[in-house]
A = this chain, B = another copy of it.
């Protein structure tokens, strides 16, 4: 049995920016030596997530518009998370300047923090148009993602 972990760091562009990390994940799977198993790609942030979908700029624009319509930005509506007269937990100076209540709500709606992708014959079992996407829901920030590969 093999278990392998890698981490990558980068600066996101902010504002629902999506980064295609497929090639890096595929490289980590090859490096892991796992030919048959599961690859878990994980965002350790509360206002980002990892999703698998197509990377096509029109689609990303549609998705961004939909998400902004369903979950208005903190500049447009009230979020208790950004109400510094009430907030007493997890006080973060940086958040005070740039409200991000919407980004937390977006990440809850988008689902799990990561994706688990089958690995077969040493490669990610992605479909033709599937790409691994790192989605920034908050402002431009230094971010990281983890990749854990388990198998034989």
Contact = CB atoms under 8 A, between A and B. Distances in A.
Interface residues of A, number: 63
A5 B59 contact: no
A118 B62 contact: no
A36 interface: yes
A70 B71 CA distance: 10
8 contacts: A5-B118, A52-B112, A53-B113, A57-B89, A58-B81, A62-B101, A109-B109, A116-B116
Interface of A: 1, 3, 5, 36-38, 40, 42-46, 51-59, 61-63, 66, 70-71, 79-83, 86-87, 89-90, 101, 104-105, 107-120, 125-127, 129-130, 146, 148, 150-152
